[in-house]
Amino acid sequence: MISVGFKTDKGISRNDNEDAVFVLPDRDLYMVADGVGGHSSGELASRLAVGYMAQFAALHPIGDVEEGDALKAYFMSLLSGANELIYSKSSSEPGHLGMATTAVLCYLRGSKAFIVNVGDSRAYLIRDRQIMKVTTDHTLIQELVDKGEITAEQAENHPEKHVITRALGGEPTVRPDFFSFDIYPGDTVILCTDGLYGMVDEAIIARLASRSRTMHGLSRSLVDMANSNGGEDNITVVCIRIQ
């Protein structure tokens, strides 16, 4: 059994919300997207992504898919279709040239969680008051950190820290990462855009999750904290508690 809460907010500094969220509890499927491309283009890209996912899930029930390679192929097909849709629209309409979106998905089945991501939207696992980042950011700065050219501390204030290297619609093909892990009662999985983790320290995210009785309450608390700290970007969170 699980409980779920979610919230999206434009933040304090932005006039528009280019984030999008998709929650389908009866199929244990969740997604957060953060559009890029500026104004209506970023908003369009993220909404195309979640809209495509909703349609795909309706036409191809995920519960019919076996675990392992078949499940990985399912997500690859889903993201490839969304990527093709966004890339085609970006390429054919000058007003939307260069639009794209991040995406992080979570699927729960039995005692396992499956995570798929493209871009720098993240998935976290909070267990026993400890927070673990599941995903790896697809950013220029993360590549520099991985190569040892800069430290994690230098990356936090780097002027190019928001430059992403992979996204839905950014290229003709998409290259997602796949993760899976066992889940236990008391675990909390959080999907979020950089408007949250860029404004709220991970330790505070874990503390709020440990104190929150409901996932709707946790979602509100996280967004409120991000805004209290400056709200420099759109903020979207999906909070999932395993019970």
H runs (alpha helix) in 6-157:
39-59, 69-92, 140-146, 152-156
| Average pLDDT over every residue of 14-42 | 91
Range of the domain at 147: 2-242
User: Residue 126: how many CA atoms within 13 Å on its side-chain side?
Assistant: 24
Euclidean distance between CA atoms 105 and 57, whole angstroms:
13
Which range is least confidently modeled, 15-19, 44-48, 138-142, 239-243? Answer: 138-142
Per-residue pLDDT, 155: 65
- The CATH number assigned to the domain holding 152 equals 3.60.40.10
Judged by DSSP in three states, 83 sits in helix
Answer yes or no: is pLDDT of 12 > 90: yes
Instruction: Say if residues 233 and 195 touch (Cβ distance below 8 Å).
Output: yes
Average pLDDT over all residues of the chain: 93
User: How does pLDDT run across 22-32, given as a tens digit for each residue?
Assistant: 999 999 999 99
User: How does pLDDT run across 164-210, given as a tens digit for each residue?
Assistant: 999 999 999 999 999 999 999 999 999 999 999 999 999 999 999 99
Residue listed under structure tokens 């995903």: 135
Cβ neighbours around 211 below 10 Å, total: 11
Instruction: Say if residues 117 and 176 touch (Cβ distance below 8 Å).
Output: yes
Q: pTM to 2 decimals?
A: 0.94
Q: The tokens of 66 are what?
A: 């076996």
Query: In the chain, how many domains are there?
Result: 1
| Average pLDDT over every residue of 127-131 | 96
